[in-house]
């Protein structure tokens, strides 16, 4: 999926905030606030048209790739999948967009391979723009909670802007390992402002008064 970084961030936001069937009511104001983007609903649909279906007579969108990523294959004899299939039938999702559904017993061990991790990591790594320890960073990324991707992307964007000189930017693997996205981004050029309620201790030395 070749998309500008802002639209990749928006797509990961949608995937991490949709329901268990890949359905979501788009809230562009919240999306732009969380992702730090300025994207209209029309622009998003133009760029992600192959991944989003606006459901007729509904305010919901269906994300085509979500179920492939989340379940791999939907089975109508799987209790966890039944509610998903029910929602998709309710909203008239075309069969061509449904993952293969089978009533045959599921294998004891199923490995679902998805390029979601790779695409998300590639977008983040390019945004971070410090190309060191690629394999280590990729292993750290695999441990990241996918629902945090929009937060990480937005924090990374601001962190990169605050560290234009890459030598002062943490190595990508260190950033991930330390969960640096949870920290405040300090702008080195911002003027110092003393907090309104700050308590400043001032020591005054006086010459004892003679009596």
pLDDT tens string 119-149: 778 888 888 999 999 999 999 998 888 778 8
Q: Which of 71 and 88 is assigned the larger pLDDT?
A: 88
Do 128 and 78 have their domain in common? no
Tell me whether residue 155 is in a domain.
yes
Cβ distance 127 to 159 under 8 Å? Answer: no
- What is the rounded distance in angstroms from the CA atom of residue 62 to the CA atom of residue 18? 9
Do 57 and 135 have their domain in common? no
Tell me whether residue 107 is in a domain.
no
Cβ distance 178 to 152 under 8 Å? Answer: no
What domain range includes position 23? 5-97
Beta pairing partners, 24? 61
Whether the model clears a pTM of 0.85, i.e. scores above it, the answer is: no
| Residues in CB range of 41: below 8 A, 6 or more apart | 26, 28
Q: Which of 67 and 58 is assigned the larger pLDDT?
A: 58
Do 124 and 167 have their domain in common? yes
pLDDT in tens, 144-174: 887 788 788 888 888 998 998 999 999 999 9
CATH assignment of the domain containing 10 = 1.10.10
- What is the rounded distance in angstroms from the CA atom of residue 91 to the CA atom of residue 170? 46
Q: Label residues 69-101 b or e (16+ Cβ within 10 Å = b).
A: bbbbebbeebeebeebbebbeebebeeeeebeb
The total of structural domains in the chain comes to: 2
Cβ distance 64 to 52 under 8 Å? Answer: yes
Query: Is residue 53 within a helix (H) or strand (E), and if so which, with residue range?
Result: strand 52-54
């Amino acid at each position: 999926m070749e998309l500008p970084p802002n639209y990749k961030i928006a797509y990961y936001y949608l995937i991490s905030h949709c329901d268990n069937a890949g359905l979501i009511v788009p809230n562009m104001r919240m999306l732009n606030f969380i992702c730090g983007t300025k994207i209209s609903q029309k622009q998003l649909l133009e760029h992600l048209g192959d991944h989003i279906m606006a459901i007729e007579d509904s305010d919901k969108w269906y994300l085509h790739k979500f179920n492939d990523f989340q379940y791999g294959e939907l089975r109508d004899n799987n209790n966890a999948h039944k509610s998903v299939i029910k929602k998709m039938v309710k909203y008239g999702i075309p069969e061509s967009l449904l993952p293969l559904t089978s009533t045959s017993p599921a294998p004891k061990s199923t490995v679902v391979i998805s390029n979601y991790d790779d695409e998300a990591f590639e977008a983040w790594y390019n945004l971070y723009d410090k190309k060191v320890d690629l394999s280590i960073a990729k292993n750290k990324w695999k441990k990241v909670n996918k629902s945090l991707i929009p937060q990480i992307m937005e924090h990374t964007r601001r962190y990169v802007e605050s560290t234009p000189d890459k030598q002062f930017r943490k190595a990508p693997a260190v950033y991930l390992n330390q969960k640096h996205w949870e920290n405040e981004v300090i702008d080195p050029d911002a003027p110092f402002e003393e907090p309104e309620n700050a308590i400043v201790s001032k020591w005054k030395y006086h010459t004892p008064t003679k009596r």
